[in-house]
Chains A and B, each alone.
Chain A
Amino acid sequence: MKVLASLRARRPVLWRAVATIVLVCVALVVSDHVSALTDYYLADAAAMSIVMVGLSFLTGVSGQVSLGNGAFMGVGAYTAAIWADHHAHTPIAANLALATLVGAIVGLLVGLPATRLRGPYLAGMTIAIGVAFTSIIAEFGSWTNGDQGLALPRPVGPPKWLVQYLHSTPTAARPGNMWLADIAVVTAGIAFFFMANLFRSRTGRAMRLVRENEVAAEIAGVSLPRARVLAFVVAAACAGLGGALTTIIAGLVSPSTFELSLSIEMLTLLVIGGIGTLSGALLGGIFYAYSSTWITSLVNATGLKPTSNLAASLNGIIFGGLLIVFVLLAPLGLTGTTRFVIVRRLRASRASAADARPVP
């Protein structure tokens, strides 16, 4: 363990690479042993956590509130679908890279006017973007097929060797879903590796300084507008990648997925998971994939009639309630608060250990 700790201190990038590879391998093994439906949720969770890690960076690290991240995700999702419709034989990796790039460009376009805004103005502008996205999709119906959405020309299928490997699976869905989960997990691994380095890098530290104390940041030579725009670019690129991944997983894209409620849900789950952290984004992704299932189980467990008013509104009550509770009582989210508690305990034990040492 000491070896690992010193590796972490001396060569952090290598440590992160190793950690990522190990986690990805574990996830790949897991995807082989669970049901097709769980594989689908796993894929969804991985895609969403990529989007959330970008938002975690934007809102948590650089302090810019964004309630329009769903729109960036939609940009990536539609880019992947429209490109695939016209160029059906592009390899998946190229498609994802394109969506990331387009997302980054849109992030730049949004980030530039956004540098002039603070707090609520910025939040309000991002809300307007989040709301306007579906209208824009409906307007360009000849490209986007409007309300009806776009389907990928061929659903993404597993390679032959994998199918033969799982030859006797009970339903046809299983190798397909497992392959999707694997793609998603590997992509998430790459994205998280990149973001982990970014969080801890000089750029990340500069962003935190900008968020906390603008004057100090300026004195330290940080260019404020550049830092802010960069944060938007990164968040939008992550969102674009995650969005394209969801298109590949679902085999289709539809505007109703990218309403304002998606952006709000993302922010809520991130606040619960822990804003400004990587693990918070990971938790947020998992919560997102399973939220409907859990709420349905809750409705069944409490014996509520599924079509009653209360059951239909339960989603909003739970999300709204959780958001308020966390903001008032645990604004650092689950991971942040846990970390805080652990650090405090460590410090307390170290202090008492220091006390125990005889003073020379």
Chain B
Amino acid sequence: MSPLHLTRLVTRVAVVCASLALAAVGLTAATAAAAGTATPNVTGVTGTSITIGATVPLTGIASPGYNEVAKAAAAVFNWVNNHGKVNGRKILYDLVDDCYGTPGFGCKGNPDVHADTVTLVTKDHVFATVGSLGTPTQAPERAYLKSVDTPQLMVNSGSIDWNCVGGSGTPSSDCNGTTYPGLTGWQPSYTTESKILAKYIKANYAGKKVCFLGQSDDFGHNGYLGLTYGGIHPVVTRFYSVDALVVSGAASITPYIESFQSAGCSVVYLDTIPGATAAALGNAEALSYKPQWVISSVGSDPTTVATELGSTPDSEPGAISFAYLATTNGFTDPWISWTYKVLEAAPGLFPGFKSTSVLNGNEAYGVAWGVAFVEALRAAGRNFTQASFLHILTTMKFETPAITPLQYSATNHQGLIAGFVDKIKSKTATEPAPGKDGNKTVWVTKSTSASPVTSTTVLSLTVPSWLK
């Protein structure tokens, strides 16, 4: 091709491209001008509804226990929608399946949690995410949700990553050096839990050797920290990886339990998820090793652990754990009968649930924070924005199934910071732990080493009349 032809061709192409670009500018300028007259709105809120969302494991490995949490909250929202709504609005709860914890193809949802969150924000236009589950899934979303002005409320996890409000209560390393004013947790942190359990261990198992098995992430490490803050120093400390547990099963934990046994530990603290709890219990059975188990609330729900154990003998009864809801036998809880009503009224979410069904920890947990959200929404009134909602959340008094006060404040976005020591009674029931510092004493402590562990009065629980 001659240079002349070439030059002409290139010029032609350049003109085409430039005109495309100009057209683009022109078009977008036009649409921009037209759209400029839209009225500002609170995202996710209309005259008759408010849309919230969450990413949870609806299918996949983690789902059997964990999906009941979100479903229980959804049942609460259903109940409220059918019994008077909240300030004239229905709550629309969009659950997106994020396949939490499932490797490979075994689940229906999109394991790209970020894509799921972007979907919630840009397609469902949620007012806030409420009750999204998991530390590794939610911690990386903090920056994104802050950048799009969407609150991230009541994250289902005990990590201290959700308390990023500056001040002495905030470990800055977990907050990337920034504050996230729209972010809150709900349950007591792993550190709060282990500090309180450390107190119980000191009071009742003084002089005995303690061994520690924790998950190899924030969950295990924060729990370990709390034990040391409480003055317990395990003689053997091992961390298990969830990856290895899924791949190799109970055998991946066998050497750890063997090392506990040869070190002569008569108390073993488990900061484990139910699958790992079952693996530890099963391994100890095989080794004829019978220590006193102290298990984190995350992994101690007796029904869930019994399911994980399958046909292996269940050695969990007798274990000590931590609780903050009143579903433990021995507390009077008017919320229990209400919870049964709510779950029975949602057969789509809980098919076959009736008054004789066992209420497990996951369901109680979901109901408890679902109620908290509904109360905050009601208190916020008919006209609110994200900012005013957060203000209400951090200043109001709640009446929830938690046995300790839910105390959000300007300096505490963790949520609950208290609980009591309970004991696994059977495959389906728990009771308050006996002994010193047990017996229904409720303890309060923040997640730092300096904060003391002090006792507080048990709340007397009532179901608000407008919820009944």
B-binding residues in A (CB < 8 A):
3-4, 6-7, 10-11, 18, 21-22, 25-26, 28-29, 32-33, 35-37, 40-41, 44, 134-135, 138, 141, 146-155, 157, 165-174, 176-177, 250-252, 254, 256-257, 259-261, 292-293, 295-296, 299, 306-307, 311-316, 319
Contacts and interface: CB of A to CB of B under 8 A. Distances in A.
B32 A166 contact: yes
B32 A167 contact: yes
Interface stretch (B86-94, B113-121, B406-414, B417-425): B113-121
A41 B43 CA distance: 22
A261 B217 contact: no
A154 to B, nearest CB: 8
Contact of A32 (B24, B121, B135, B149): B24
A257 B242 contact: no
Given A171-B43, A311-B59, A155 B147 contact: yes
Nearest to A139: B241
A4 B243 CA distance: 55
Nearest to B71: A307
B121 A261 contact: no
A37 B118 contact: yes
Given A155-B143, A168-B32, A251-B143, A148 B241 contact: no
B122 A319 contact: no
Contacts of B216: 138, 141, 146-147
A245 to B, nearest CB: 14
27 contacts: A6-B1, A7-B9, A11-B6, A18-B13, A29-B20, A29-B23, A35-B123, A36-B118, A40-B118, A146-B216, A147-B241, A148-B136, A150-B140, A151-B142, A151-B176, A154-B143, A165-B28, A167-B32, A171-B121, A177-B122, A250-B114, A257-B112, A259-B104, A295-B108, A306-B58, A307-B67, A314-B108
Contacts of B287: none
Interface string B26-64: 011000100110100001000000000000001110010
B109 interface: yes
Interface in B139-155: 139-144, 147-149
Contact of B139 (A6, A148, A177): A148
A308 B147 CA distance: 36
B21 interface: yes
A311 B108 contact: yes
B107 interface: yes
Nearest 7 CB-CB pairings of A with B: A252-B140, A292-B110, A316-B105, A36-B122, A312-B59, A148-B136, A168-B36
B32 A172 contact: no
B140 A315 contact: no
A295 B142 CA distance: 28
B90 to A, nearest CB: 21
A91 B123 CA distance: 30
A215 B319 CA distance: 69
A3 B9 contact: yes
A138 B243 contact: yes
Contacts of B135: 148
Contact of B1 (A11, A157, A314): A11
A350 to B, nearest CB: 25
Contacts of B35: 168-170
B96 to A, nearest CB: 10
A25 B118 contact: no
A170 B38 contact: yes
Contact of B217 (A146, A167, A252): A146
Contact of B28 (A32, A176, A257, A293): A32
B125 interface: yes
Nearest to A311: B108
Contacts of A151: 139-140, 142-143, 176
Contacts, number: 175
Contact of A134 (B10, B36, B144, B243): B243
Given A147-B217, A157-B147, 19 more contacts: A4-B9, A7-B1, A11-B1, A25-B20, A32-B28, A134-B243, A138-B216, A148-B139, A149-B139, A154-B143, A155-B147, A173-B118, A254-B136, A256-B111, A259-B104, A261-B104, A292-B109, A292-B115, A315-B108
Nearest to B116: A292
B36 to A, nearest CB: 4
A168 B242 contact: no
State the main secondary structure of chain B at its contact with A: helix
A174 B35 CA distance: 14
A28 B24 contact: yes
A171 to B, nearest CB: 6
Given A3-B5, A147-B242, A312-B60, A251 B24 contact: no
B21 A25 contact: yes
B239 to A, nearest CB: 10
Contacts of B137: 254
B5 A172 contact: no
Contacts of B105: 261, 313, 315-316, 319
A293 B115 CA distance: 11
B103 interface: yes
A312 B106 contact: yes
Contact of A316 (B1, B106, B114): B106
Contacts of A33: 27-28
B24 to A, nearest CB: 4
B358 interface: no
Nearest to A312: B59
Nearest to B24: A29
Contacts of A293: 110
B152 to A, nearest CB: 13
B143 A296 contact: no
B17 interface: yes
Contacts of B193: none
A322 to B, nearest CB: 12
A29 B21 contact: yes
A40 B123 CA distance: 11
B431 interface: no
Nearest to A146: B217
Given A148-B218, A252-B140, A315-B107, A173 B24 contact: no
Contacts of A148: 135-136, 139-140, 217-218
Nearest to A257: B112
Interface string B326-358: 000000000000000000000000000000000
B467 interface: no
A155 B144 contact: yes
Contacts of A6: 1
A172 B147 CA distance: 8
